[in-house]
């Protein structure tokens, strides 16, 4: 008969049974065990695990069955060690809003579900002198498979360049495209700003103030520009002194909210570039003994939990943070494969109307 292929010789069911019979202490099987039981080399098992095409179909099927039956799971640490990179995905961020951070984390984990990848978090301070160096060390030491960058670190070209230099895959989440398409999740904040303006304008408002976000954040520019675009559609012009400079913090919203009340003539509505600042404006109104929406209609941006905790509940533009995280993780996993077609990498903000805005009473 001569040589017969091993897959024909091997009874994979029996092999699985023998594993359990000869393993009283419940040791977890290794690739070597699978190979021995299947009567093949470790390399062949490795090929099956890594979906290499060059394996006989019958062999592949039998090995997969055996793997399932004895509950073999390749050790990600050993695999990573041999691959010279880990099965870890990093999230590098400096956004201080807990709701954003947690939701993007959840989204990334959604996108990683069913894989062997885990998520390592790396908050950082972009102002620090060692920011780039720290991030590089983080990535290199852990040999991260890739990283997700969220605003505003995602906007940092030095960081992106450093990551390219060390060959680390990355996905940048930002309000506009800043990089090759497969490296971006674009959130289109400009569209959200426009929706906010359309909403206020269609309620009859025309004296509308804007509290802008931190200048160094690209989203601040996008949200404001989009808002101005929307006003333009209604023929409304935004006077310079109706634009107040905030920095995305609640405190700046509180301060600019107070300033806003001194404007002459007073605005009947305001757009704050994020919910934190909108909450500050609302609090400034309370302090002044005024009320929204009666004395001022106000629109925020983000739709984090705060928006529904304050009173009146905030009309705002929803940022799908969790979805953003999921898309970023999916893009990252696909990044290595040239074959995988580019998945969706855009999200669109959506206006959520609540009680902080209302029709302007004709006076």
Partner DNA sequence: CTGAAAGCGCTTACAG
- Give the Cα separation of 72 and 74 in Å (integer): 7
Which of residues 4 and 361 has its CB atom nearest to DNA in the complex?
Answer: 4
Q: Which is nearer to DNA, 236 or 334 (CB)?
A: 334
| Pick 61 or 232: Cβ nearer DNA | 61
Q: Where are the extended beta strands (E) located within 187-226?
A: 208-212
Strand partners, 352: 316
Q: Are 173 and 185 in contact (CB under 8 A)?
A: yes
Q: Which two tokens stand for residue 142?
A: 């852990």
**DSSP symbol at 262:** T
CB nearer DNA, residue 24 or residue 289? 24
Q: How far is the CB of 67 from DNA (least distance, A)?
A: 10
Q: Are 176 and 222 in contact (CB under 8 A)?
A: yes
54 binds, among its own copies, DNA, none (CB under 5 to 8 A by kind): DNA
Q: Report the alpha-carbon distance of residue 198 to residue 91 in Å, rounded.
A: 35
| Nearest distance, CB of residue 54 and DNA, angstroms | 4
Burial class (CB in 10 A: 0-12, 13-18, 19+), 14: exposed
Pairing mode, if any, of strands 146-149 and 88-93? parallel
Q: Site residues (CB under 7 A) for DNA?
A: 5-7, 30-32, 39-47, 49-50, 53-57, 59-60, 72-75, 78-79, 81-84
46 binds, among its own copies, DNA, none (CB under 5 to 8 A by kind): DNA
Residues 6+ apart with CB under 8 A from 279: 250, 253, 300, 306, 310, 314
Q: Which of 60/190 has CB closer to DNA?
A: 60
Pick from 270, 360, 325, 342: which is nearest to 107 by CA?
325
Task: Indicate the pairing of strand 269-272 with strand 243-245.
Answer: unpaired
The DSSP bridge partners found for residue 147 are 90, 170
Q: Which is nearer to its own copies, 98 or 336 (CB)?
A: 98
Min CB(29)–its own copies separation in Å:
13
State in angstroms the smallest separation of the CB of 21 from DNA: 20
Picked from DNA, its own copies, none, the partner binding residue 43 (CB below 5 to 8 A depending on kind) is: DNA
- Min separation Cβ 244 and its own copies, Å: 19
Using alpha carbons, select from 349, 355, 57, 87 the residue that is nearest to residue 223. 349
How many Å apart are CA 281 and CA 250, to the nearest integer? 8
State in angstroms the smallest separation of the CB of 113 from its own copies.
11
With respect to its own copies, which residue has the nearer C-beta, 101 or 149? Answer: 101
- Report the nearest approach of DNA to the CB of residue 28 (Å): 7
Give SS3 for 7.
helix
- Name the minimum Å distance from CB 34 to its own copies: 17
Residues that bind its own copies (CB under 8 A): 73, 75-78, 80-81, 86, 88, 98-99, 101-103, 105-106, 109, 116, 118-123, 138, 141-143, 250, 276, 279, 282-283, 286, 305-306, 308-312
Pick what 119 binds: its own copies, DNA, none; C-beta below 5 to 8 Å, kind-dependent.
Answer: its own copies
CA 89 to chain CA centroid, nearest Å: 12
Measured from the CB atom, the residue of 95 and 345 that comes closer to its own copies is 95
């Amino acid at each position: 008969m001569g040589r017969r292929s091993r897959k024909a010789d091997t009874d994979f069911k029996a092999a699985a049974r023998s594993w359990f019979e000869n393993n009283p202490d419940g040791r977890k099987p290794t690739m070597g065990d699978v190979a021995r039981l299947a009567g093949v080399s470790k390399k062949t098992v490795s090929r099956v695990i890594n979906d290499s095409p060059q394996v006989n179909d019958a062999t592949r099927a039998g090995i997969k069955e055996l793997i399932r039956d004895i509950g073999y799971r390749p050790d990600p640490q050993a695999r990573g060690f041999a691959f010279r990179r880990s099965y870890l995905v990093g999230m590098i961020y400096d956004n201080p809003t807990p709701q954003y951070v947690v939701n993007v984390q959840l989204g990334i984990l959604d996108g990683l579900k069913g894989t062997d990848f885990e998520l390592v978090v790396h908050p950082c301070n972009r102002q620090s002198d060692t920011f780039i160096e720290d991030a590089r060390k983080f990535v290199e030491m852990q040999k991260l498979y890739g990283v997700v960058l969220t605003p505003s670190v995602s906007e940092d070209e030095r960081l992106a360049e450093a990551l390219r230099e060390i060959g680390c895959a990355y996905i940048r989440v930002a309000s506009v495209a800043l990089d090759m398409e497969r490296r971006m999740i674009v959130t289109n904040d400009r569209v959200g700003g426009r929706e906010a303006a359309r909403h206020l304008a269609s309620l009859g408002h025309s004296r509308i103030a804007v509290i802008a976000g931190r200048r160094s954040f690209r989203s601040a520019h996008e949200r404001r520009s989009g808002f101005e675009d929307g006003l333009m559609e209604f023929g409304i012009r935004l006077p310079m002194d109706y634009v107040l400079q905030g920095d995305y913090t609640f405190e700046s919203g509180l301060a600019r909210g107070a300033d806003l009340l001194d404007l002459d003539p007073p605005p009947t509505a305001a757009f704050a570039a994020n919910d934190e600042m909108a909450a500050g404006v609302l609090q400034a109104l309370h302090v002044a003994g005024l009320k929204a929406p009666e004395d001022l209609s106000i629109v925020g941006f983000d739709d984090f939990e705060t928006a529904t905790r304050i009173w009146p509940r905030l009309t705002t533009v929803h940022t799908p943070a969790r979805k953003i995280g999921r898309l970023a993780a999916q893009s990252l996993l696909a990044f290595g494969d040239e074959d995988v077609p580019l998945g969706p990498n855009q999200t669109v903000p959506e206006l959520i109307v609540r009680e902080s805005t209302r029709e302007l009473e004709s006076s």
